[in-house]
Amino acid sequence: MKKFDANAAAPKDSGIFGLPFTVEEAALVLLPVPWEVTTSYGRGTAQGPQAILQASKQIDLFDIDLGNFFEAGIAMLDESKDIQTWNKAASQLAQEIIAEGGVEAAPALAANAAKVNQYSVKLNDYLYAETKKLLSQGKHVGVVGGDHSTPFGAIQAFLEKYPDMGILHFDAHADLRAAFEGFEYSHASIMHNVIEKTALKKLVQVGIRDFCEEEFDYIKKNNSRIITFFDAALAEQKLNGIQWATLCDEIITCLPQQVYISFDIDGLDPRFCPHTGTPVPGGIDLREALYLIKKVAQSGRTIIGFDLNEVSPGDADLSIEANPAAEWDANVGARLLYKLCGWTLAGKA
């Protein structure tokens, strides 16, 4: 750090946020997951980690809330070649099924869906093993997707270390569908899998505005474990003059002492993420999201880790020159990621 100038432009060969840290030196390690196998609308999230990495080098490191928190060390692992290979193979199988309307509409493709599920299990096992290893080394860990199916294995590892943790889930979607389109580990099923396959005690959802009746009934059925702050209700309360700070207090009251944040960027108003895979009108403002995260940390709770998903550059070419409009998504994603890193490093798990 003696030779590192935090006020200068990021060196060409620098890491995430232009920082000089190795994984061994870093207090917080980011796991990039280039995965979008079951994406059923817009694509491009597999390129999210690389797009964020590029955009992150434009961020000024000094933070008005947290000062020079980056000095603790933040590093991002290289993308796994195995994940890249699995993503390509599984995507080819999955997209054929999705084009037909899912396995229910095309039962002849059920064998292909089973293969997709096998690839997803490989991904889950990889994330579980890598996260568990890093946590055992005393590292903070954040997952950078990829679509929102990516963090399941990481969440399993976090729950082993922090069995009383809760999840604060930002999203436009409830993600409580069972095996959507025949895919057990669909991006639309991540929280259903967490509820059904782990012992998570509390899931607190914010910004939800796109869900089916089955998911709505599932929330009611599991109301001891799932608390959902629907976007329509939050918006109506704000229109009636209730301050966001008051609503944040209500949300935070539902959370346990240790909090894992699962952030699907489409939980934001789509003006912040127009190229995300499944944008939905409405949502919360970026400043509102950052305020809620800050208030969680200041409430005496500890943010133990996080995932950030569904950031998409919207195009195969990540260069700003060739794809200037999509750089906005990565720009917003990188800044949100930096704040997630900061508030995680500020805690004492």
Residues 6+ apart with CB under 8 A from 54: 318, 330
The HSE-up count of residue 57 (CA atoms within 13 Å, CB side) is 16
* Low-confidence residues of the chain: pLDDT under 50: none
| Euclidean distance between CA atoms 243 and 264, whole angstroms | 24
Q: What is the DSSP letter of 93?
A: H
Based on the number of CB atoms within 10 Å of its own CB, is 239 exposed (0-12), middle (13-18) or buried (19 or more)? exposed
What's the pLDDT score for residue 85? 97
154-172 residue pLDDT tens: 999 999 999 999 999 999 9
What's the pLDDT score for residue 341? 98
What's the pLDDT score for residue 235? 98
What's the pLDDT score for residue 322? 62
248-274 residue pLDDT tens: 999 999 999 999 999 999 999 999 999
| Euclidean distance between CA atoms 348 and 331, whole angstroms | 28
278-313 residue pLDDT tens: 999 999 999 999 999 999 999 999 999 999 999 998
Alpha-carbon dihedral angle through residues 80, 82, 88, 92, given to the nearest 10 degrees: -140
Stretch (H or E) spanning 126: helix 110-136
What's the pLDDT score for residue 12? 84
What's the pLDDT score for residue 92? 93
Give the mean pLDDT of the chain: 94
What's the pLDDT score for residue 314? 73
Q: Report the helix count and the strand count for the chain, using DSSP H and E.
A: 10, 8
In single-letter form, the type of residue at position 139 comes to K
What's the pLDDT score for residue 279? 94
Catalogue the E-assigned strands of the chain: 28-33, 74-76, 140-145, 166-170, 202-208, 226-230, 258-264, 302-309
Please give the domain boundaries of the chain with CATH numbers for all domains: 16-345 (3.40.800.10)
